[in-house]
Amino acid sequence: MTKASAPSLPVQSSQPVSLSSLGPGIMVAAAAIGGSHLVASTQAGALFGWQLVGLIILVNLFKYPFFQFGARYGAATGESLLAGYARLGRPWLMMFLGLNLFSSVVNVAALLGLTGALITWFIPAVSAQVLAAVAALISGLIILRGHYNMVDSVSKWIVALLAVITIIAAGLAFSTTTTISPDFVAPSPWTLASLGILISLMGWMPAPVEVSAMNSVWSRSKFSDQKRPDMKAALFDLNVGYIGTALLALVFLALGAKILHGTGVELPKSGAAFSVQLANLYAAAMGDWSRWLMMTAAVCCIYSSTLTCMDGYNRVNKSAFDNLNGRDSVDTESPKLVLLMTAASLSLVLLFPGTMLAMLKFAMMTAFLTTPVFALMNYRLIKADHVPEQYRPGALLTVWSQAGLIFLAGFALLFIWWQWLM
């Protein structure tokens, strides 16, 4: 680790923890509740029923320390997580930037494509590509004209609406009796053949670990003109968003398990077609009004992720470029970078319209394979000498994070062996 002087301690707020502390953590939730929930979690329930509940809980538990370390580091040092990566050494920050630039384009492209495809259900006369471009334009205007505050406000409203609709949908699902095919035998997810599905599920469950860097730069934007929150406020914000995201993942799995599992209905390969199929099954059981409920939930789910990822990835990239040049600026807005990255993502949608689901699954797998690396970076950083000792994790959190590293690295190595060495 490169040696650097310890930063001066940030000014800590004396305000009690309250709902006003919320912001970056809810935006992390908005970024997370996308493909991992609507597509991966629901399909996991549809394919395997309740068998993957334990895995979803485990991956959320084992990723948690590394998200917390990101929030903890910012509150402890006053620096962004990107400045911390620079302290680990310039190659670490360059590696992070390279992977994040790739993720920015591929992930946002997949989300834009899925957003456009879902909206065609409401506006069938307009092509999915045109609607994806409209979604990109609206998101860009919110980011460039409304800045952090508008992205924060919009994402909070969307997440609140999504949570209410999804819980209502789950309640309706549990009040309905699903007809299971008499010759149905539930497949087991615990086979090597299912490993790709499991890795895709875990990659964005609840979100890639690099999203912890988004939390870092969003926190600096929220508190740039006032006292910084104390450690309790920072962790309260993260915990509300993280726990809410994990619970919604289980709710989406329940939707798939209750409505689709064992019915003998073949699952479409397209994420948008899968959502429409789920909505149609609801309508068959409960009436046409429920179809609108499910499709609204699907659009909210994916668009919230699209908007926050467009903003968060670009802020993180801007902060990484700044720190490579030796400055950790609070201002992480870059209109040029937003336009460039959005244009690159939209180009993928327009040029390769039939590859969105494959792109989404590839992004999920890539996210999981890089997770142990980013998790290790966050672990090393929070244990570094320049972090005040009172803010470093205690014995329980240390053991928890070490177990998480073993779990995440073990699955990644198993997948590499199965995919390329077996």
Per residue in 192-211, pLDDT tens?
A: 888 888 888 888 788 888 89
- Say how many Å lie between the first and final Cα of the chain, rounded: 35
C-alpha distances in Å from residue 222, one per residue of 27, 118, 210, 281, 342: 11, 32, 19, 42, 23
* Cα 30 to Cα 308: distance, rounded to the nearest angstrom: 7
User: If pLDDT is split at 50, 70 and 90, which confidence band does 20 have?
Assistant: low
pTM: 0.88
Q: What is the average per-residue pLDDT within 11-24?
A: 59
* 320 C-beta neighbours (distance < 10 Å), count: 26
Amino acid at 273: A
Domains of the chain: 22-421 (1.20.1740.10)
pLDDT score of 316? 95
pLDDT score of 13? 45
pLDDT score of 7? 53
User: What is the number of alpha carbons within 13 Å of residue 104 lying toward its C-beta?
Assistant: 24
User: What is the number of alpha carbons within 13 Å of residue 30 lying toward its C-beta?
Assistant: 31
User: If pLDDT is split at 50, 70 and 90, which confidence band does 81 have?
Assistant: very high
For the chain, give the mean pLDDT. 85
Q: Is cis: bond before 353, omega within 30 of 0? A: no
Contact 126, 120 (CB under 8 A): yes
pLDDT score of 221? 82
Residue 56 has pLDDT above 90, yes or no: yes
Q: What is the average per-residue pLDDT within 413-420?
A: 87
